Structure formats: C-alpha cells, structure tokens
Structure 1
Amino acid sequence: MQMTKFCDHLYDESTDGYIQILKIDDKENNGEKTIKIYNTKNDGLREIVEELHKKDDVFLAPNTMYLPKRRVENIRQFRALFQDIDCESMSLEKAETVYMIWLLHYEGKIPKPTMVTDSGRGVHLYFRIQNAPYGALNTWQELQDYIYYNLKHLGADRRATDGARVLRLPGTINSRCDTNCKVLYIDNDIEYSMYELREEYLNYKPKTHQLQMQQVKKIDNKVICNRFFNSYSLHMERANDLETLCRLRKYDMTGCRNMALHCYAYWKGIYIRDAYDLENVVIEFNNAFTEPLKETEVQAILRCIPKAIEKFIAYEQGIRSGERKRVTKGMRDKEGYWYKNETLIDRLGITSKEQKHMKTIIGIDEKYDRNNERRRAKRRNEDGLTKRQQDKLERLNSIKVLKEKGLNQSDIAKELGISRQAVSKLIKEL
C-alpha cells in the first residue's frame, strides 16, 4: 500500500516525537476551510493514515516534534531533507522534471533522492537522513537551501524549505487538480548522513577539522566556519540574543521597536520559511512588547522579509556551490540584511551590562573581556591554579615533608636547589 511504504521509508523504531498530519476540508462550515490535526507517535501512525486513504488534501510533516505543536523550535528529530517542486508552474511535465533531477544527481549537483512522490501538480523529493536532533538545525537548513537553490529552475518552492513543513501524503487526493498522490520511486537502501552531505555538497572541510577552522586573510570558497558560528547559526543565535534583550528589559523596547521587530523577523525567517507561520511568530513577539507596533507597521516589516531571504540563500548557496566569491570588505555588500555588532548595539541601545548576557551581539570591550577570561581559564589547571601557583604549592608541600624529617632551612634549600631566604619566606606561609 502506497501510504504504508511512504511511512516505512521515513519512520521506524528509531523515531521519537510526534508526527503531525493535517486534513484540510474546504467544504464544511458553509464553505469555510477547516483543518483537522492529528498528532501521533510512530506506533499509531499507520492506523491514522489508513483511515485517510483516498481522502482529499492530507498533509504530513516528515520531521517529528517533541511537543504536539508543529513549529521549527519544537523539532525533535530531522528524518529527511525534502523539496516541493511545482513543475507545472515552469511548464514542465512530471516525467521530464524527474529526468532532469536524475541528470543533476549524475552531474554531482544534488544527492540521489531516496523517494519521489507525485503531489498532483508536481513532485516531492525526499532524501532520507540518519535522524538528528534540533541542535543540527543549521546544518539541515544549509542542506535544504542547497537542494532548493539547485532545483529552483525546475519550480522548487522556497516556502517548503523549513523544518516544520508538511507535504502531501501519497494515497490521498489533491483536490485542486483532482489527482491521486502516489509514490513514484523509493529506495530503502539509502540513508544519508548530514555531515557527509555537508562535506560533499557544501564545500565544508571534514567534520574532524571543523574546530580548527579559522578565518584567515586569504579567502577562498571554502565555507568559513570559525570556532563558534557560520552564517546560518549566527542568525539563529542573534534571534536568541534579541529575545534575551527583551526579557532583560521586561519587553519595554520603546524607541527601538521597529528595528527589533525587523531584525527578529529576518533572523527567524532564515529558518521559518512559511509566510503564515513566520507572521504568527512575529506578531506573538510584537504583542509581548509593553507598547506593541500597529498591525500596519508589522505587515510593512513582513513584506520585506521574503525577498531578503531569497537574496540570503542566493549569496550563501552561491558560495557553497562555487558559483560566486565571498564578499570580504565588510557586511555592507552581502545580500540580505547584515548588520555589524556596532550598528545593532547603537540602534538597539544595548548597554555593556546587557551585552554580558549575549552570545553574538557584543562590542569590542566585551569581546576583549571574554578573550581575556578564556586566556586566564586556559592558564589554570583542573584545580583552578596557574602554573606559578601550582609550583609554589608543590614547593610548600616539599618543604613541609623535609621539615618533618628534621632538616634545617639550609639543608632544605640545598635539597630543593633554592636560596635559604626563599625557604625562610615559604616556611612563614606554612
């Protein structure tokens, strides 16, 4: 059965978390759209999908959630990379599209899909991966954007590139074109590792060398990944920093609300690609302010985000695919919205005290303080002592042992190879 094959390909005994299924009906409630939501674990999934066999407009989330609420921040396991291709919008036949996808694979541009389904108006591609937790979000998103970037000319949908996306379930009907959704191809012998895909397709150095990668003056098209962040993870942490700032101020952001909401919408938009979901997240954030922005102001901010995200993907994936060179003279020439820390600190009025709670939005003084703190920590052993303090402690212990043996200060000095005055001074500390 189509639905069972589909479920068995994505979910097995290693599956953890909730799998969400949506059933959309436009005919009930006097023509108003209704959505029935199912949240199930793997052991109850197949029973539900069998009930929905040959029903209209059923969607399923390939990745699982740790809460029965489908949001990117609730992801429990990444089970697959995927892409929704609306080939009809590009005047392409499905068979022609699938053929061109296979050509891209044989040319080394994309991995081989592990499953292809007919969505009614196009095709869905799946790339089954070894399940990974939410902490792998930035790696998953980079790979997802890479696949989208290389399939964009075939009708790939950018809105279907976030981790909480739902796609049509095979064995059901697409009511928009009255077409059966079905599995066209499946290979259960392939399961990818995201880190291996990253090395092969994103021009990363091997995982074992990631911690040694440093930014150097000679810039090539290798992805720059310093000890802390790359472009994707930086945006995620900056959104977290902004949330921290709001909590510190008890959401009194008067004077910088527009800038705060603009940055938040963009940084969150790197991972939340569905316009409706992003709008809800941004409105929720705005409503938490002591004085929220007007709805018209929020909508004005949101209208700018999709185009900026498209530019971000084009810039980042252009580098990863080797099609373009990295901009090296500051952030102002990068595509998308890139703000230097100095700009963010100024526009948001972030104090030095507030910076101590941040991970990425910090000034030069705070950066130096953290570097000095790291250096001091490195100089200390597991007991918290510097080399000089440890040597002194060992010398004191040696003097104590020799003194207990009945040696005088001159003999102790001779035994330890130091002056008698030094021994006398140390004995006073015993």
Structure 2
Amino acid sequence: MNQQELFEAEHYINKEILYKAPYNAYFALLYGNKAKNKKYRQKIYEVEQLSFVLKNLYYDWDNYISQGIFYRPNRRIVNLWSIGLCYVDLDTYKVKELQNIPTHAIIDLIFAYCELMNIPEPSLVIYSGNGIYLKWLFNKAVPKGALPRWNAVQKKLVELFKDFGADPQARDASRVLRIPGTTNTKTGLKVEIVIEKPDIRYDFEKFSRQILPLERPEKVIENAKIVLPPSSEKKPSAKPYKLRVRQSKKFSFTPAQLWWDRLQDIRTYVQMRWKGRVPEGYRDIVLFLSYIALGWIEPVNTLIYGLEFEQLIKEYGITMPRKEIFAYMSTAKKRLAQMVKDKKEGKGYDPTQHLYLYKTETIIEMLDIQPEYQQHLKTLISPDEHKRRKRERDRKNIREKRRREGVRPIEEYLKERKKNKELLRAEVKLLRAKGLTIKEIANELSISERYVYSLLKG
C-alpha cells in the first residue's frame, strides 16, 4: 500500500462529505535535505493535487506529509477538517534495551505486547529510517468535532508505548510524518512499510473505548524481552470509561470537548455577525476566551499553543500589535505556563486548577449573542434556545414513531386527498355535461348536493 492509496482511502478522506463542503480541503507537505543544505520548506496543496504531488517528490530528500485534512490552507489544529487514523512515533533507538536489536525483532515484541495488553494491533507498521511508526486506521474519518476524544486516545497510546520510545511531542492532529518510499537523510535509509494489514480498520468509538481504560505496567522491556507483572499477564478487562461530565451516544463529553465546541461556536459567531473581522469593542474578550479554550484542549507544547493562537488572531482579522494582545493575556498566560510546568514535574495536567471557568450564560452575555445567532451554534445557547430545540426533537420523534406504527405523514395524506378531489371534480363535471341534475349527481357519487356545488364552482 503506497502513500497515495493511504491518503485517498475512505478512512482518510470521506469524499462524500468532503467534496460537498463549501470549501476545499488541504494537506501539507514538508520537504528538505540538510545534507545538501536545502532548508525545510512547507507547502499546502489541495487534496485533489495529491497524486501529482506524490509523483514529483524528491525521493532522496526528507519528505513529510500531514496526517490530517484541513479546511483552510494552513496546517493548524484549529483548521482541522478530519483525521483518519491514530498513530505513535516510536524512537526505539533511544531505548537502551532496544539499541542493538534488529527492527523485525522489535516489531515482534510490539505485537506480542499488544496481544498481552489487549491493544488492537496496528493496521500499518512503517520503518522511518531510524524509528518506527504504528498506525491504526479507521473505517471512517474522525471529524473535527471529536478532536478532544481523539487527543485523549493519542495521549493514552503514547503512555502505553512509553517503554518502546514513544515520542510524547508527536501526538497532535497537525503532525507530519515521513512518506514511505522517501529517504531519511539523517541515516541515509529508506522509509518503508514493514507490515500492512489493509483489511484491519477500526471504528473510532469502539477503538477509543478499548484503549482509554488500559493501564501501562511499571516495567515492560528488560533485555529485549517483554516483562509484565503477574497481575498483568492476563488480558485486562475493558472496564467502562469513567466520564467527567456526561456521556453522549457517540462520544464522551468532557470539559475539553465542551471548550473545543465553544471555540468552534465563537469562530462561527465571528463569521456570522462580523464577517470575520472582530470590532474593537469585542477584540479583547474574543481573544481571551479563545486563548482559554486552547488551553483546555491540551496542546502538545507552548510553541504549538502559540502557533494555534496566532492563527486565530489572523482569522479574526485583528491587526493589533502582538505585545498589546499578550499584555492583555498576561494572567492567562502565566496560568498556562504554570500548568505546563506542573505537567513536566509529574503533577499531571489539570486545567481546572489553572484555567478560568465560565458558565455558558456568562459567555453569551460577554459576547452579546442574540437568539438569531444562537440557532446556528452548538453549545453557546440560552435555556430558551435549548427548550426550542427540545420541542423540535420531540416533534420529530413523534413523527418518526407514527411512521413506525404505519401512520402516513400528513404531507402524503394531504397530497393524496388533493389528488382524489381533482379526480372527483372531473367526474362531477363529466356527469353535469351529460345533463344530470345536481341531485342526480349527488346520488350517483354518494356525496352531498352542497359538495357537488362546491366542486362545480371550484
């Protein structure tokens, strides 16, 4: 399976949805060659150009391609459209116990570990010229709305494969990975697919439910052998994932999911009300809320956090000096820095201890979101809008229930009634043309004389 097939498969791009979108979809290509003093450059292409791009690569250079699809020509998470896989980047050469072990033996260890730990086996194993990529492909692309859930799965996968050298910095949806068939100029070795199982495709929700409850044992590798504590030798039972807020039918609804949806609502609101250019009176609060939202979705590091925020500043059409913007964000910035510091020191990543908490009603008031705009939003809605949507859902459920019970929809009934009335009118006029009286026509058709008059008049 080559990169072209990987990228165009249904799990990577859901074309039925993608090409009905009111905008194009994009992927990113990063290429360069340090050995030849060729600096790395990034180019953004439309997905339809993929075949041409892959045929014209410099295969003796370093070539990377984005794993996600973006709805703007910018490789930032805030512009994500969908992603069709989960992945882990294993720097096995950094693990002392694995440094003198052949790649194929390491891969055998990985699959044995997956079997023991009840981890779904990867669909693809790619040798990157130095390390190993593990990729789990999905039967349908994961939409941008499920990004917080996807992030949680990525974080857990990195934790599970920590002893195989999993790179904790390489787990975001905007990541680029090496393209099979190209060269790793650091080692001079080719990037190649070692194992491919094209029939293995996972449903993302089932996959996430299996991954998230798993716990990594204290010691995994010793002298290039898998060593698990006695309690971990059996496959762990897949306990239900404990949710922090509530559980929807499709995805777990966590604070990260809530703030990601709020960020999408803010961006939608800016486009609807101000055509993408935030006026002076609202700049500070829009930027402040967006800054907080990014903190809740846990960026990999502060550099990526800054790049994501910079993209939002441009999207909002704000041309203020950056010093002035970050001066207003100073308190929130300090809180974020402390949160990142606590994470590095092993104190965990808990946004509730550092980031601001706002009720939905407060945000609606701060942004002055009127009811006509709330109809197009997902989370920033008032109790009245919530009740209106509930009434619509209830009416829809009643209609569906009546249809299941065999009751015809009112539209079909009225349409058939109108058709029958026209046929009856034609028959009445025909009998009248034959010379029958009103009373005779009524008796002939078993209808009232008054109805005969109305049909003739109509």
- Cα distance in 2 between the residues matched to 1:338 and 1:280: 21
2:54 to 48, 51, 64: 48
Equivalenced residues, count: 344
| Structure 1, unaligned runs of 5 or more | 204-219, 319-331, 383-403, 407-430
Give the aligned residue type for 2:58: L
2:366 to 349, 372, 384: 349
The aligned counterpart of 1:59 is: 64
CA, structure 1 residues 111+152, in 2 after alignment: closer, same or farther (shift >3 Å)?
same
SS of residue matched to 1:373: helix
The aligned counterpart of 1:187 is: 197
- Cα distance in 1 between the residues matched to 2:172 and 2:355: 19
Q: Does the alignment pair 1:241 with 2:265? A: yes
Q: Does the alignment pair 1:82 with 2:104? A: no
Q: Does the alignment pair 1:112 with 2:121? A: yes
- TM, length-normalised to structure 1: 0.61
- Cα distance in 1 between the residues matched to 2:128 and 2:262: 36
- Cα distance in 1 between the residues matched to 2:178 and 2:309: 27
- Cα distance in 2 between the residues matched to 1:45 and 1:226: 39
Cα deviation 1:44-90 (Å, max 9, x = unaligned) = 5387357433x121112234445655444555553321121223445
Cα deviation 1:357-397 (Å, max 9, x = unaligned) = 354346xxx32x23443565547977xxxxxxxxxxxxxxx
2:287 to 249, 252, 261: 261
CA drift of 1:230 comes to: 0.9
The aligned counterpart of 2:242 is: 222
- Cα distance in 2 between the residues matched to 1:260 and 1:92: 50
**How do residues 284-363 of structure 1 correspond to structure 2 at under 5 angstroms?**
284-286=311-313, 288=316, 292=320, 294-295=322-323, 298=326, 305=336, 308=339, 334=352, 337=355, 339-341=357-359, 345=363, 349-351=366-368, 353=370, 357=374, 359-361=378-380
CA drift of 1:303 comes to: 7.9
The aligned counterpart of 1:281 is: 308
CA drift of 1:115 comes to: 1.5
- Cα distance in 2 between the residues matched to 1:307 and 1:103: 39
1:37 to 36, 39, 43: 43
Give the aligned residue type for 1:239: L
CA drift of 1:305 comes to: 4.9
| Structure 2, unaligned runs of 5 or more | 16-24, 214-239, 400-446, 450-458
1:370 to 385, 408, 423: 385
CA drift of 1:124 comes to: 1.2
CA drift of 1:92 comes to: 5.0
The aligned counterpart of 2:32 is: 24
CA drift of 1:100 comes to: 5.2
Q: Report if the CA contact (8 A) 1:19-1:42 is conserved.
A: no
Give the aligned residue type for 2:114: H
CA, structure 1 residues 264+86, in 2 after alignment: closer, same or farther (shift >3 Å)?
farther
Give the aligned residue type for 2:45: N
Give the aligned residue type for 1:45: S
**How do residues 410-425 of structure 1 correspond to structure 2 at under 5 angstroms?**
none
CA, structure 1 residues 303+174, in 2 after alignment: closer, same or farther (shift >3 Å)?
farther
Q: Does the alignment pair 1:130 with 2:158? A: no
Q: Report if the CA contact (8 A) 2:123-2:197 is conserved.
A: yes
Q: Report if the CA contact (8 A) 1:265-1:305 is conserved.
A: no
Cα deviation 1:240-299 (Å, max 9, x = unaligned) = 233356565762465882x65354235346286476554333124335476736338649
SS of residue matched to 2:169: helix
- Cα distance in 2 between the residues matched to 1:98 and 1:311: 34
Q: Report if the CA contact (8 A) 2:45-2:73 is conserved.
A: yes
- TM, length-normalised to structure 2: 0.58
CA drift of 1:105 comes to: 1.3
Larger CA deviation: 89-98 vs 114-123: 89-98
Q: Report if the CA contact (8 A) 2:70-2:80 is conserved.
A: yes
Cα deviation 1:127-154 (Å, max 9, x = unaligned) = 1211326356334434333322323454
Give the aligned residue type for 1:188: P
Q: Report if the CA contact (8 A) 2:119-2:211 is conserved.
A: yes
Give the aligned residue type for 1:283: E
CA, structure 1 residues 20+306, in 2 after alignment: closer, same or farther (shift >3 Å)?
farther
SS of residue matched to 2:156: helix
Larger CA deviation: 95-104 vs 299-308: 299-308
Q: Report if the CA contact (8 A) 1:72-1:271 is conserved.
A: no
Alignment root-mean-square deviation, CA: 4.8
Give the aligned residue type for 1:225: Q
CA drift of 1:112 comes to: 0.8
